[in-house]
Structure 1
Amino acid sequence: MGNQPKQLILKERYQIEAFCKLNFSARKMVKELGRSNKTISNEFIGSCKKAYSAETAEQQMQIRRSEAAKYTKCSASLKNHVRSLLVSIGRILRD
């Protein structure tokens, strides 16, 4: 399994779609893709209602990633402090 990214890439999603059409078991997909059971399981839980679609799964992943909370070292109090400093600098420059 090595240094693979956590998320599946579109190519792997197309492979999963093809495997579904060939009635591969989830375990066989895991072996073929070299991914963990959990990764494949999460892919089906997140996007498999009736038939798996690589395009739909990719779109859903993009939406989830765009809406996910982002880690930042900049807290709200730090932002406010920087704003107040910038305002005071702006006043000094105008004078």
Structure 2
Amino acid sequence: MAGTWNIDVPAARGVISSTAASVSDLQRPLEQMRSAVEGLAAAVPSAVVQQALGSLLEMTLSPAVKDVVDRSTTVVSGTSGAVGHYVNGDLVMASTAASSAASIHTK
């Protein structure tokens, strides 16, 4: 892919940090949802409904929530790594350019 890259690293890191905090902030509401479904199951006087709610929680909601958190964490981590590689690449290129410039022989 040809072209130039110009990433505003401090801004990118700010977005990454904010997104990571948002992913972390998901934990409490998700725990509250789990507690609410468990509370509902405990309040219903039907074993069939209690079993259905338990299955909903264990087979659908919990895996889906885990998947969202895992994928979000992977995206944040990957993006952070990519920005780090971008910064390191810039440093390597700058060092290579400086070395090259220093080794130019003038007549």
Which protein has the larger Cα radius of gyration, Structure 1 or Structure 2?
Answer: 2
Q: TM-score range by the shorter chain?
A: 0.3 to 0.5
Which is bigger in relative contact order (C-alpha 8 A, separation at least 6)?
2
Which structure's residues are more often helix, by fraction? 2
TM-score with structure 2 setting the length: 0.32
